[in-house]
Structure 1
Amino acid sequence: MTPQTPILWSFRRCPYAMRVRLTVLYTGVTVDLRDILLKEKPVEMTTVSPKATVPVLNDNGTIVEESRDVMMWALSKNDPEGWLDMPAEGHAMIDTNDGPFKKALDHTKYAVRFPERDASADRAAAADVLMGLNDRLTHQTNLFGDMVKMADTAILPFVRQFANTDRDWFNAQDWPHLIRWLTAFETSDSFATIMVKRPIWVPGAEPTYFP
């Protein structure tokens, strides 16, 4: 049986899905990109992934449900500029991003849902992580030198999400190197490409091949 093009379920504004689309774009591995609405998740996705969160990759019956694992799936197929050529510290930084930083980000962004918490303390906790990134970027373009690595791509969509909780406050902070790094990301051709609005997937739709 001829293998089918892998299916990637995605949501345009989700930072987890963003970093996967960025990786797929970089590697050039073709997928059938299916954009969905989170409030109307198709049964075709939830059947293969009861977790029902994006992104989800269906590679001919092999289901990959975590965004970092989907990134690794694509990079294992093609990594022309050596995104995986980074020290173990890079993976530890992604752990921090996906754990403590994302938790502080959510508590900041959705503070109204957590009335028992101190929103200013949560924002300060997130800012501590970002200040560490700023310090790393003082004398280099990206987290591990001039070249983009997996860590940059995995973390930047979440920095953007945090910045957008209060862009004026974010831009007023003393982290010029972080702002420069984020601005370069937001004005890149790659970011523009992955953020193109595509039709919401419906059953029977023709494949939307990406990249």
Structure 2
Amino acid sequence: MKLPILYSLQHCPYAMRARLGLLLADQQVLLRAIVMKSKPEEMLAVSPKGTVPVLILPDETVIDESLDIMIWALQQNDPEDLLHKDSPDDLPTTIDLIRRNDKEFKPQLEIYKKAKRFRLENVIEERQKCEVFIAELEQKLATNQFFIGQKPGLIDYALLPFVRQFSRVHRSWFLQAPYPYLRTWLESHMQSRLYGKAMAKFPLWLDGHEECLFGKTKTDKT
């Protein structure tokens, strides 16, 4: 049986998002680990924008947006009902929040990371701009265990890599920041077996063109 091919970068939050979605949906792929300074010609031929993740299905369909990969995977199989099929209003809310994360929060997070890295005078100001979104997430968790309702959904796993990235910019500050619910949520996810599997390190594909099997099998239970 021919498997999909996934081009992935270990610490890219978008690639992390895609890997989480594939694991949650029990979808197996052949993973090709890359680094951005040396992009495979094979990847660029099917996705000229040159960013990860890129998923190539057996019928040669190319999906090169992380959220689209998650939704495709969960449409194949959604054992934990992460799409909340019995609550149709949840998906538009989920998509809206993810879009805001990608279009507003993530660009500001990059500015904050740069300010912290280069010890710029405006680092606190840039962090506070990020906190507008972070505070909204904290508020959601103050009344629910997860971002939408009392069970995990697509939104939780789609935002996980980005909240993780924010927490690591200034770790000591985050540990005492006024976001206790978000810290608990983040720690719970990062201590899970699922997260460990999503963050497994694979040999670079260009070094030996070794395709690595990624994804759960029927006997691999969380």
CA apart distance, 1:74: 0.7
Q: 2:196 aligns with which of 173, 192, 209?
A: 192
Q: Deviations 1:129-166 (Å, cap 9, x if unpaired)?
A: 11111111013221112321011111111000011111
Matches of 1:51 and 1:196, distance apart in 2? 25
Moved more, 78-87 or 68-77: 78-87
Q: CA deviation at 1:16?
A: 0.4
Cα displacement (A) at 1:205: 3.1
Asked if 1:150 is matched to 2:148, the reply is: no
Aligned to 1:160: 164
Paired AA for residue 100 in structure 2:
T
Q: Quote the residue 1:79 is aligned against.
A: 78
Correspondence 1:27 to 2:31: no
The 3 A distance-change label for structure 1 pair 64 and 117 is farther
Counterpart position of 1:13 = 11
Q: CA deviation at 1:209?
A: 1.4
Give the match's secondary structure for 2:37.
helix
Indicate if the aligned counterparts of 1:55 and 1:65 stay in contact, CA closer than 8 A. Answer: yes
**Which stretch shifts more, 38-47 or 158-167?**
38-47
What 5-or-longer segments of structure 1 have no aligned partner? none
The aligned length equals 209
Q: What is the 5 A alignment of 1:99-110?
A: 99-110=103-114
What does the per-residue CA deviation read over 1:2-33, in whole Å, with 9 as the maximum and x for residues that have no partner?
x7311000001011011110110011111111
Residue type of the partner of 1:18?
M
TM-score after normalising by structure 2? 0.87
Match of 1:64 in 2: 63
Q: Using the alignment, how far apart are the partners of 1:41 and 1:135 within structure 2? A: 40
AA aligned to 2:146 is N
Instruction: Work out the CA distance in 1 between the residues paired with 2:62 and 2:82.
Output: 23
SS at 2:62's partner residue? strand
User: Following the alignment from structure 1 to structure 2, what is the Cα–Cα distance between the partners of residues 132 and 5?
Assistant: 39
4+ long deviations beyond 6 Å: 112-117
Asked if residue 42 in structure 1 is aligned to residue 40 in structure 2, the reply is yes
CA contact (8 A) 2:7 2:54 kept: yes
Distance 1:137 1:149 in 2: 13
The offset of 1:121, in angstroms, is: 2.5
Secondary structure at the aligned position of 1:209 is classed as strand
**Are the structure 2 counterparts of residues 191 and 116 from structure 1 closer, same or farther at C-alpha, using a change threshold of 3 Å?**
closer
Q: Structure 1 residues 38, 84: closer, same or farther in 2, change over 3 A? A: same
Q: Percent identity?
A: 39
Q: Secondary structure at the match of 1:81?
A: coil
How many Å apart are 1:57 and its aligned residue?
Answer: 0.7
TM superposition shift of 1:203: 7.1
Do residues 130 (structure 1) and 134 (structure 2) align? yes
Distance 1:126 1:184, change over 3 A: same
Q: TM-score, normalized by length of structure 1?
A: 0.92
Say which SS state the counterpart of residue 40 (structure 1) adopts: coil
Post-superposition offset of 1:78: 0.7
2:119 is the alignment partner of 1:120: no
Contact kept in structure 1, 2:115 and 2:126, CA below 8 Å = no
| 1:34 partner letter | R
Please list the CA deviations of residues 172-202 of structure 1 after superposition, one character each: whole Å capped at 9, or x if unmatched: 2111001001111111111111111111113
Residue identity matched to 2:141: L
